[in-house]
Amino acid sequence: MPRNIRYTLLSLRDLLVSIGPFALLTIALLGLAYWWLDPNPPKRVVLATGPAQSAYDAFGKRYADALRRYGITVELLPTEGSSDNLELLRTGRADLGFVQGGSADIGYDDEESIVSLGSLFVEPLWLFYREDAAQRLNHTPTVASLPDLRDWRVNVGTAGSGVPRLFGTLLDVNRVERQQLQLSELAQTPATVGFLDGELDAVVFASAPESLMVQMLLQSPGIRLMDFAQSEAYSRRFGYLTPVVMPQGVVELSKNIPERDVRLVASTTSLLASAKTHPAILQLFAQTATSLHGGASWFNRAREYPSLEHSEVPLSPEAVRAIKNGPPFLQRYLPFWLANLIERMWLAMGLIIALALPLSRIIPPLYTFRIRSRVFRWYAELRDIEQRHETAAADGVSEQQLLDELAEMEAKVEKVVMPLAFTDELYALRNNIALVRNKLQRKG
């Protein structure tokens, strides 16, 4: 191997050895920060939705499709509705879930364990009734208020949906005893079948207008939707309720369905998550919510949702940033995994670099010391030979023995390889060896 290449390789080797401890320290700190911050999200999350063919079920499938692009599998967990979803979040069996405002019992303990990703859409309380039932029981084809439902057969949905709780609250403020109605708690699909067959007089459920059941019942002959004339009063009594109006003809313009504006009371549905859910997952769901729920619908204009209002639990900071500012800057130009890694590690990396920079000043002196130590270590042996020469007579050491040791040391020194920038140290050592030899020979 040519000497110049050999000198360069040795110099690089010494440089790497000098840098090594600091590189290992930096890597160890980065590894510790990575473990502590856990920047990469899990590949699988569980989303509690709702009954089959409900709006929750439909939206859940759309979220799953959207997050699949980022390599994240969203497992959809069918439930009875809001109350079930909240319980699943409390017990950790779901990471996220749709929960309707006012339909579930949210307590102070939930404020520490559950966060909100914002309100997604309004979910009216639909009260459909049969015209023939109204004519038979009230002698009029319309129902004007909840007290008109006395003695009716009304299905209010399963307890897990939260609708029985909400509807019961409305009955209470209208001073209608539950015993005055024949209430049932069938699931949405069998209840709708029984309702259309005349086995029930009315059905009550809360759902977004995208629900297939809502779309079908709004266009079924002989079925009417109750007009909540006191919707404004309900909203003043209960903060989680909002008065909304379904405009005339919005369902089917050609058939003018509905034939007049219908006033309804609605609650806002929020996407809630366990506080332990990975921040990157919360960010992705909030960004997806902006695209899925940001358009216009029957009850809101474009970009009104998702909203940071009407939250019954604390808002997630990731959701607030995503809804207010959109995708982070890096995600607009980099793959999600890389942008997320940099975004969540940049502060730690900055602190580590700030710590490593002052320490890196030690590297040049350490490198110099390592190179020069190849020469310096021979000076101890050279000095020992010189000192032994002074006491050679007393110790019984011959001059020739010391000269032989000096010659052996010189032969070894000649094999020492130094970077060109430090060869002056090597030649200085060889000159000093010659000086000691002359001293020994002169006295000899």
Where is pLDDT greater, at 407 or 354?
407
Average pLDDT over residues 347-370: 65
Domain extents in the chain:
98-327, 362-443
Give phi and psi for 75, each to the nearest 5.
Answer: -85, 120
CA distance linking residue 340 with residue 331, whole number of Å: 8
**Most confident listed range (33-37, 99-103, 313-317, 405-409):** 313-317
Q: What is the pLDDT of residue 356?
A: 63
Q: What is the mean pLDDT of residues 378-388?
A: 81
Average pLDDT of span 312-338: 78
Q: Quick one: pLDDT at residue 34? A: 54
Question: Which has the higher per-residue pLDDT, 407 or 37?
Answer: 407
Provide the mean pLDDT of the chain: 82
Token pair listed for 325: 């500012």
Q: Which residue has the higher pLDDT, 34 or 187?
A: 187
Pick the closest to residue 264 from 220, 328, 204 (CA basis).
204
- CA 187 to each of CA 160, 168, 204: distance values in angstroms, whole numbers, following the listed order: 10, 17, 11
189 or 333: which leads in pLDDT: 189
How high is the pLDDT of residue 21?
66
- Asked whether residue 313 carries a pLDDT value surpassing 80, the answer given is yes
Stretch 55-69: mean pLDDT: 92
- At a CB cut-off of 8 Å and minimum separation 6, what does 90 contact? 110, 113, 114
Q: Give the residues across from 47 on adjacent strands.
A: 76, 96
Q: Which residues does 23 contact at the CB level (< 8 Å), separation at least 6?
A: none
Contact assessment for residue 382 and residue 436, using Cβ atoms and an 8 Å cutoff: yes
- Predicted local confidence at residue 388, as pLDDT: 80
Per-position DSSP letters for 370-384, written without gaps between them:
HHHHHHHHHHHHHHH
Q: Assess whether pLDDT exceeds 70 at residue 178.
A: yes
Q: What is the DSSP pairing of strand 114-130 with strand 223-225?
A: antiparallel
pTM (2 d.p.): 0.63
Half-sphere exposure of 85 (CA within 13 A, CB side): 32
Instruction: Answer whether residue 280 shows pLDDT above 70.
Output: yes
pLDDT value at 354 more than 70: no
Q: What is the mean pLDDT of residues 78-97?
A: 90
pLDDT reported for residue 2: 55
What's the topology of domain 98-327? D-Maltodextrin-Binding Protein; domain 2 (3.40.190)
What confidence score (pLDDT) does residue 179 get?
Answer: 92
* Contact assessment for residue 256 and residue 219, using Cβ atoms and an 8 Å cutoff: no
pLDDT band at 173 (very low <50, low <70, confident <90, very high): very high
Q: Three-state DSSP class for 161?
A: helix
137 compared with 330, residue with greater pLDDT: 137
Question: Is 60 exceeded by the pLDDT of residue 15?
Answer: no
Find the mean pLDDT for residues 325-353: 66
Q: How far apart are CA 85 and CA 161, in angstroms?
A: 9
Q: Is the peptide bond before 78 cis (omega within 30 degrees of 0)?
A: no
**Comparing 260 with 208, which gets the higher pLDDT?**
260
pLDDT of residue 165: 86
What b/e readout covers 132-163, taking b as 16+ CB neighbours within 10 angstroms?
A: ebbeebbeeeebeebebbeebbbbbbbebbbb
- Mean pLDDT score, 185-193: 90
pLDDT at residue 17 tops 70? no
Output the CA–CA distances (angstroms, integers) from residue 110 to 23, 235, 330, in the order listed: 45, 24, 33
Q: For residue 1, what are its two tokens?
A: 């191997």
**202-211, 245-254, 265-274, 408-417, range with the lowest pLDDT:** 408-417
Pair 121, 270: CB distance under 8 Å: no
What is the mean pLDDT of the segment spanning 194-215? 89
SS3 391: coil
Helical axes 423-443 vs 363-390, angle rounded to 10°: 0
Do residues 138 and 114 make contact, with C-beta atoms less than 8 angstroms apart? no
Region 82-105: what's the mean pLDDT? 85
Percent of the chain with pLDDT over 90: 32
Query: What is the per-residue pLDDT for 159?
Result: 79
pLDDT at 14: 59
pLDDT at 269 over 60: yes
